[in-house]
A = this chain, B = another copy of it.
């Protein structure tokens, strides 16, 4: 960015699916674009559960934001966390720098929500960042290691119990993957315990898992998980989470490996702006994604709440990012703005195990191996960069053939107490 530049300044906060798509849509615009993110990398969140379950490495689903935008000459990248936004002076304040803007796109995504029980966080990590994923990976693998050393049956039983809270796609994927680790990957690796004896519980507050899917696909996933030995508990509320287990009302389940896949809340973007937010903390935006009273500020992806509910998935964030980028392009060029944002739902996907998935695309429904193939190809396709595609494809093939997992690393000392 030339200091004396008179070009319009566009700041994009967040290098997730929404932010990057906005930057891409602005690639031909005569402007100075800055993408700022807390991390130096874009994370391909749909495959985070595979890092958490030791299939692939963090670097396989992460890509430096600088590399992605290297060839886009009107865009620069900065590493930093946002402290505040001065909407009057039109300045974003990060930890070490200030960024003036003419247009601002906020694409800061979500974090976990513990429904007011923030103290549950340490006991039940969620799955939104690579750090979360390696933490869960360590905790799951460490449970088996500690069970092998356990001196009594009660300890062994507790250490071989895995609880996943939340029956959406992430919960279903985690439950299926942990079942496979216990029943297949680790099957011959221990001498004092039989990993196949592990209990895996998937707890969902609503009446069925995968509530966003058609009922027959939910039922299919439920049946598949049960066949893999997962105890699926629907209409069950978690009332307490501690480091040694969860409470379901009166009932207590002892476990030291609890994974939170139950709820999310938006980032602090609404607070930065002093904007009105919905219950999940998302900014209530106009139908062109602009923030009321601020035609120069846009919220996209999980940061935005529209009149109609839009699912918190990658394609939705991308569509919104693209729309905001195009709208700013039109505005700068003095052309008419595009019509209001309309979300097009492409479909829903969730894997259940190493050769099964449920897929819903318009009228098409796929299950089992065909669903899994579709899911695999779709996810490989959307990974950024030929290297990552190749590596993940090869790793999956290898895992599929050998039942092994190539990233069984315990990298943090995560013992309780």
On A, residues with C-beta under 8 Å from B are 1, 39-41, 57-60, 62, 64, 66-67, 70, 76-80, 96-97, 130-131, 134, 141-142, 145-146, 148-149, 151, 186, 188-192, 387-388, 390-391, 394-395, 398, 402, 404, 406-411
Asked if B409 and A59 make an inter-chain contact with CB atoms under 8 angstroms apart, the answer reads: yes
With A59-B57, A62-B409 known as contacts, the answer to whether A404 contacts B67 (CB < 8 A) is yes
A sample of 16 cross-chain residue pairs with beta-carbon separation below 8 angstroms, ordered by A number, consists of A1-B192, A40-B145, A40-B409, A58-B409, A59-B407, A66-B186, A67-B404, A77-B191, A78-B148, A79-B148, A79-B149, A96-B146, A96-B149, A97-B149, A97-B151, A130-B411
* CB-defined contacts of A97 to chain B, threshold 8 Å: 149, 151
Task: Give Cα A131 to B413, complex, Å.
Answer: 11
Task: Give Cα A407 to B402, complex, Å.
Answer: 25
Asked if B189 and A67 make an inter-chain contact with CB atoms under 8 angstroms apart, the answer reads: yes
* CB-defined contacts of A192 to chain B, threshold 8 Å: 1, 76
The A interface, classified by DSSP as helix, strand, loop or mixed, is mixed
Please name the 9 residue pairs, one residue from A and one from B, whose CB atoms are nearest each other, closest first. A57-B57, A59-B407, A66-B189, A76-B191, A79-B145, A64-B408, A40-B410, A57-B59, A387-B398
* CB-defined contacts of A40 to chain B, threshold 8 Å: 141-142, 145, 408-410
Q: Min CB distance, A16 to chain B, in Å?
A: 16
Which of B57, B78, B148 is close to A60, meaning CB atoms less than 8 Å apart? B57
Count of chain copies: 2
Q: Min CB distance, A77 to chain B, in Å?
A: 8
* CB-defined contacts of A188 to chain B, threshold 8 Å: 70
Q: List 6 additional contacts besides A79-B149, A388-B406; criterion CB under 8 Å.
A: A39-B410, A64-B189, A67-B189, A77-B191, A79-B148, A387-B402
Q: Min CB distance, A380 to chain B, in Å?
A: 16
Least CB separation from A2: chain B residue: B191
Task: Give Cα A141 to B40, complex, Å.
Answer: 9
Asked if B59 and A406 make an inter-chain contact with CB atoms under 8 angstroms apart, the answer reads: yes
* CB-defined contacts of A58 to chain B, threshold 8 Å: 57, 409, 411
Asked if B410 and A67 make an inter-chain contact with CB atoms under 8 angstroms apart, the answer reads: no
* CB-defined contacts of A67 to chain B, threshold 8 Å: 189, 404, 408
Least CB separation from A129: chain B residue: B411
Question: Most chain-B CB neighbours within 10 Å: which of A62, A96, A146, A411?
Answer: A411
Which of B130, B189, B394 is close to A391, meaning CB atoms less than 8 Å apart? B394
Asked if A394 and B390 make an inter-chain contact with CB atoms under 8 angstroms apart, the answer reads: yes
